[in-house]
């Protein structure tokens, strides 16, 4: 009976020590903050907190993971932002009374750039599905527009 009690106490003490270490370690505190910012969609802040946490403890896997995931999400955010900007430019061109060959070439170039940029994106399992879907939506739009311009 004494051995069982000792094993239970030793296990409980180990778990308690690990929990306290995790709770009071500044690296893991920063990681938890980074996780919060990542979950709320503030990827720049998540990246900066995760990078700081990783700098404090290079064995902090949580910080490394959040840092990598934030970079992926930032790439998707950048693609979506650029897509919106280019769609606005294309709308201005299309709304002109006459579309010149140079305008068609500009539209074609924009579509090709955005199509190639999309190929470079690679989502992970935890990447926000909404970001991935928005990027895919714009990519499809650029592909369809490119087909129309090439006719």
Q: What is the pLDDT of residues 100-130, one digit of tens each?
A: 888 888 999 999 999 999 999 998 888 899 9
Distance between CA atoms of residues 69 and 91, nearest Å: 33
- 89: containing domain: 2-150
> Is-contact 108 132, C-beta < 8 A?
no
How many Cβ atoms sit within 10 Å of the Cβ of residue 105?
Answer: 11
Structure pTM?
0.82
62-88 confidence digits (pLDDT tens): 999 999 999 999 999 999 999 999 999
Residue 108 to residue 111: CA distance in whole angstroms: 5
Within 25-60, where are the H helices? Answer: 26-39, 43-56
As for how many domains the chain has, the answer is 1
Q: What is the DSSP string of 55-86?
A: HH-TT-HHHHHHHHHHHHHHHHHHHHHHHHHH
């Amino acid at each position: 009976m004494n051995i069982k009690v000792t094993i239970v106490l030793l296990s409980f003490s180990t778990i308690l020590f690990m929990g306290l270490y995790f709770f009071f370690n500044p690296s893991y505190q920063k990681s938890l903050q980074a996780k919060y910012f990542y979950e709320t969609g503030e990827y720049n802040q998540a990246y900066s907190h995760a990078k700081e946490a990783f700098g404090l403890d290079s064995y902090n896997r949580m910080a490394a993971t959040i840092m990598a995931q934030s970079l992926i999400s930032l790439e998707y955010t950048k693609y979506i932002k650029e897509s919106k900007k280019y769609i606005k430019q294309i709308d201005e061109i299309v709304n002109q009374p006459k579309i010149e060959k140079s305008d068609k070439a500009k539209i074609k170039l924009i579509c090709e750039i955005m199509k190639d940029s999309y190929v470079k994106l690679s989502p992970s399992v935890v990447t926000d599905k909404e970001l991935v879907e928005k990027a895919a939506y714009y990519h499809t739009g650029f592909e369809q527009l490119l087909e129309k311009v090439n006719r």
